[in-house]
Structure 1
Amino acid sequence: MLSRTADHLFWMSRYTERAENTARMLNVSYETSLLPQSADVVEEGWEGLLSISELIPAYTAKYGKVMPQNVLKFMVRDGDNPSSILSCLRAARENARAVRGALTTEVWETQNQTWLELNRLLEGGAFEREPGQFFEWVKYRSHLSRGVTLGTMLQDEAFNFLRLGTFLERADNTARLLDVKFHAVENDFFGRASERNQEADFYHWSAILRSVSAFEVYRKVYRDVITPGRVADLLVLRRDMPRSLHACMREVVDNLSVVANQQSAETQRRAGRLLADLQYGRIDEILSTGLHAFLTQFLDRVNDLGGGISRDFLVAAGD
C-alpha cells in the first residue's frame, strides 16, 4: 500500500475516535457540573478536562478564565482548536476524501454525511439547546463509522491501518483520562474518604466509568461498590473491557503484525513489550509504585509507537 494512502486512513480513524472521546468527556463534565457543588469544584472539573488534552495554555490565551460555556465552545466548535469536535470531524472527512478510492461507498458516505450534518447542527443551534443530545449524536456517528467499516471493508491493509489509528488513539485517551481524574483525588486514592464524601466519590468514579461506557461493565464484573483500585484495574488491565489499555494494545499489536514490513521489527517489538507489561501486570504492583508514573510512561511509549508507525509505514521515501 502507498504510504500516503496508509497515512490518510490512519489519521481518518484517529480523528474520528478523537471526536468521540472528546464528546464523551464533555458530556460527563457537563452532567457532573449540574450536580450541587461549589463553584471552585466546578471550575476544577473543567480545568481537568482541558488538562487531559493539554489545552489549558491554548484556552487561557484565547478565553482567559475557565468558564463552562467557553470551554464547551472551545472544545466543540472552535475551528482554531485542532482538538475540537469540529476540527476533528473536518480532518477525518478530509482524510477520507483524499483516499476515497480505498474506501467503500458506505464508509465514505458515512464520513461525509457526518461532516455535513455537524455543520447543520452547529448552525441551527442544536448544540446550545441540548448539549447532551449533541454529544450522543457525535458518539453515535463514530459508532456508525466503525460499524460500517467493519461490515463493508475488505479486511486488507487499508482495514488494518484504520484499526491501528482507532486503537492507538483510544489507548492514549484512556490513559490521559485516568491520569487526570486519579490525580484529582489522589489524597483519597485508596477509598478511605469520610462518610460525608462517599456520595461525592461515587459520582466522581461513576463519571469516569460512564465517560468510557464502563459503568454497567463495572457492575457486572465486580458486583460491589466502586473503588479507585478496581476502576484502575478495569481500565488498565482487563483485556475484555473494550476501552482498557490492555484491549487497545492487543488490537495495535495484532494489526501491526498483519501490515509488518522489513523496517517495522523494532516498532513491533516495542508494541509487544508494552502489551506484555499489561498482559502480565498486577494492579496492586502498579498502584504501589504509583499510577501516575505508570500512566506517564505508558503515554510516552504510545507516543513513541505512533512515531514508529509513521516512520515505518506512513512516510514515503524521499519525503
Structure 2
Amino acid sequence: MLGRTASSLFWMSRYHERAQNVTRLMEVAYRGAIMSHSGQEDGTHWTFALANSGTIEGYQQKYEDLNSRNVSTYLVFSRDNPASVRNSLELARNNARAVRTSITAELWEAINTTWIEFIDVNPQTITPEKLPDFLAWVNQRAHLFRGALLNTVLRDDGYFFSQMGNFVERADNTARVLNTQYWALLPDSDIVDDGSSERYQWSAILRALSGRRSYRFAYPNARLKAFNIAEFLILRKEMPRSLAHCYNWIADTAEDLSQFYGSLEPSLELATEVSAMLAEKQMREIYQEGLHEFLADFIGKNNEFARQLSEDYNFA
C-alpha cells in the first residue's frame, strides 16, 4: 500500500474519532449547565469542554463572553478552530475521498452523508434547546461510521491503518481529559462531601469518556471514588476508552500489520512496550510516580508511536 493511502486511512479514522470526542465534551458541558443549581449559566461547565478539547486559548482570543452560544459555535461549527467538529468531519471526508477506491461503499456513504447533512445545517438555527438533539445526531453518525468500518472493511492493511488512527486518537483524548482534570483524581479527593465539586468532576469525566454507567458495572458496590475512576480509565482493559484497552488494540493491530507485510518495524516495538507497561502497572504505583507525570509521559509516548508509524510506513 502506498504511504499516502495508509496516511489517509489513518487520519480518516482519527478525525472521525476526534469529532465524536468533542461532541461528547459538549454534551457533558450542556448537561452540567442546565443542572446548575445557581439558576444561571455557569461558565465552569463550558470551561470544562474548552479545556479538555485543548481549545481554551483559541476561544479566548475570539470571544470575550463564556456562554453556550459562543462555545457551541466555536467547538462545533467554527472554521477557525482546528479541533471543531466541522473541521474534523471535513478532514475525515477529504481523507476518505482521497482513498475512495480503497474503502467500502457503506463506509464512504457513512462519511459522505454525514458531511453533506452537517454542512446543510445553519448554525444560527441550533438554539440551546436544539443543541442536545443535534449533538446526539453527530454522535449517532460517528457510531454509524465505526459500525461500517468494523462490519464491511476487509481485514487487510487498510483496516489496520484505520484502526490505528481510531485508537491513537481515542488514547490521546482519554489521557488529555484525565490530565486536564488530574487534580480531581488524586487519592486525597476521595475524602469529600457528597455535594463537592470533585463529585461533579468525577461524573463529568466519566460521561465525557462514555463510562458513567459502565463504571457502575465494574464497581457495583462502590460509590464514585477518585482511585477507582483513575484505575477504570487507565488500567481496566474491559473499558473501551481506557488507555489499557486502546493500547491492547494498537499492539495487536501493529502485530497484524507486521505479519501482513512480513517485517518488524520500530512502531510495533513501541506499541508492545506501552501495552505491556499498562498491563503490568498498578494504580498505586502510578500515584506514587505522580498521576500528572504519568499521563504527560503517556501522551508523549502516544505521539511518538504515531510519529514512528508514519515514518515506518512512509505516510505522505
Q: TM-score, normalised by structure 2?
A: 0.92
1:249 to 247, 250, 260: 247
**1:73 aligned partner:** 73
**1:88 aligned partner:** 88
Supply the distance in 2 between the matched residues of 1:186 and 1:238 (Cα, whole angstroms).
16
Per-residue deviation at 1:196?
Answer: 4.6
Supply the distance in 2 between the matched residues of 1:274 and 1:40 (Cα, whole angstroms).
45
**2:228 aligned partner:** 230
**2:192 aligned partner:** 193
Q: 1:285 to 1:148 in 2, by over 3 A?
A: same
**1:100 aligned partner:** 100
Q: 1:196 to 1:172 in 2, by over 3 A?
A: closer
Supply the distance in 1 between the matched residues of 2:127 and 2:314 (Cα, whole angstroms).
36
Q: Does the residue aligned with 2:42 lie in a helix, a strand or coil?
A: helix
Supply the distance in 1 between the matched residues of 2:55 and 2:216 (Cα, whole angstroms).
33
Supply the distance in 1 between the matched residues of 2:194 and 2:62 (Cα, whole angstroms).
41
Q: 1:195 to 1:7 in 2, by over 3 A?
A: closer
Residues 59-111 of structure 1: CA deviation (Å, up to 9, x unaligned): 22211343332122110000121100000001111111111000111111110
Q: Does the residue aligned with 1:171 lie in a helix, a strand or coil?
A: helix
Per-residue deviation at 1:129?
Answer: 4.1
Supply the distance in 2 between the matched residues of 1:281 and 1:231 (Cα, whole angstroms).
15
Supply the distance in 2 between the matched residues of 1:26 and 1:95 (Cα, whole angstroms).
25
- Runs of 5+ unmatched residues, structure 1: none
Q: Does 1:283 align with 2:283?
A: yes
Q: TM-score, normalised by structure 1?
A: 0.91
Supply the distance in 1 between the matched residues of 2:314 and 2:79 (Cα, whole angstroms).
26
Q: Does the residue aligned with 1:193 lie in a helix, a strand or coil?
A: coil
Percent identity of equivalent pairs = 36
Q: Does the residue aligned with 2:23 lie in a helix, a strand or coil?
A: helix
Q: 1:46 to 1:264 in 2, by over 3 A?
A: farther
Residues 252-305 of structure 1: CA deviation (Å, up to 9, x unaligned): 111111223588632221211111111010011112222111100000110111
Per-residue deviation at 1:36?
Answer: 2.6
**1:221 aligned partner:** 218
**2:8 aligned partner:** 8
- Runs of 5+ unmatched residues, structure 2: none
Supply the distance in 2 between the matched residues of 1:33 and 1:123 (Cα, whole angstroms).
20
Per-residue deviation at 1:151?
Answer: 1.0
Does structure 1 conserve the Cα–Cα contact (< 8 Å) formed by 2:79 and 2:87?
A: yes
Matched to 1:276, the amino acid is: A
Matched residues, number: 313
Does structure 2 conserve the Cα–Cα contact (< 8 Å) formed by 1:263 and 1:312?
A: no
Supply the distance in 2 between the matched residues of 1:38 and 1:307 (Cα, whole angstroms).
46
Does structure 1 conserve the Cα–Cα contact (< 8 Å) formed by 2:73 and 2:123?
A: no
Matched to 1:227, the amino acid is: K
Q: 1:264 to 1:312 in 2, by over 3 A?
A: farther
Supply the distance in 1 between the matched residues of 2:43 and 2:246 (Cα, whole angstroms).
31
Per-residue deviation at 1:38?
Answer: 5.8
Per-residue deviation at 1:41?
Answer: 9.8
Supply the distance in 1 between the matched residues of 2:52 and 2:267 (Cα, whole angstroms).
26
Per-residue deviation at 1:47?
Answer: 2.6
